[in-house]
Each structure stands twice: as structure tokens, then as C-alpha cells.
Amino acid sequence: MSRDKNDEAIILETGQEVEIADRKYTMRRLTTRDVFAFSKLVTKALKSTGNQEVANPDALGFVLMAGMAENDHEVAAFYGSLIGLSADEFLALPAEAFSDFFDALSRSYDLQAFFEAVTKAVRALGSLWQTPST
């Protein structure tokens, strides 16, 4: 059954079951709160890499990975929260879980809308950085 963006079942769905490193988790839906949390992480990553803007939504993941070295615990806390794990539990997952997690996340039907919202939020924050205070 193909899913339509306006399908009532999707709107009411709270999460989807995913398999990560041979273990089942429920990956919750991305929310508006996540837009703000992820925007904050991307903003920190941009600052740590010396950039001030994200060219397009597809670049968000790369920016975050580049800045993850300085913010690994916060990023792990965000990702872990999507599957009900703490930051430390997420960081303790086996290496193959990293790929499994992002494969599952990429299949999320609201991921594109989420990244578009984050891009807009990061751009708005970036323009605030560049506005001289009076």
C-alpha cells in the first residue's frame, strides 16, 4: 500500500518499527521540537566548521557530520531520542548500527519536510548572526 502525504493513518501514526543492528526499535516521528533541536545542532556545527549557511537541505547531514566531533554527545542525544535511547546508549551501539540507523531514518516519510524546515530555521539564525547590533 503506497502512502499518501495526507493519509489519515500517517498523520495519526506515532512511529515506525525499525531494525538496527538486529534489534527492533520504534523510531518516533520527527516533530517541530526536533526542528528546533536539530537547527541548534546544525548551527553549532556551522560555527565549528567556519561556515555560516547551508546551501540546501541535502547538505544538512554533511554539515552535522563535519561538526559532530565537537558536539558528538548532543548529536547522539538527538539521534538516540528518535529510537528511545540515551546519548550514551546510542554511542554504545555497534558500528553497523550507524548505517542501519541512517537507512531507517532516510525512509521516514516526513524527512524531506523536516530538512526543509531546519534549513529555513538555520538560515534565519544565520541572518541574525550577520545583523550588527545597534
Q: Got the DSSP string for 17-61? A: EEEETTEEEEEEPP-HHHHHHHHHHHHHHHHHHT----SSGGGHH
The whole-number pLDDT of residue 5 equals 52
Asked if the structure places residue 34 within a domain, the reply is no
The whole-number pLDDT of residue 56 equals 60
Asked if the structure places residue 47 within a domain, the reply is yes
The whole-number pLDDT of residue 129 equals 47
The angle that helices 60-82 and 111-130 make with each other, rounded to 10 degrees, is: 120
Number of domains in the chain: 1
Q: Kindly give the pairing relationship between strand 15-20 and strand 23-28.
A: antiparallel
Its domain, for residue 60, covers 41-127
Residues in the chain with pLDDT < 70? 1-14, 49, 51-61, 63-64, 67, 125-134
Q: What one-character DSSP code corresponds to residue 127? A: H
The whole-number pLDDT of residue 97 equals 92
Per-residue pLDDT tens for 107-134? Answer: 887 788 888 888 888 877 665 545 444 4
Q: How far apart are CA 117 and CA 128, in angstroms?
A: 17
37: closest CA among 114, 89, 132?
114
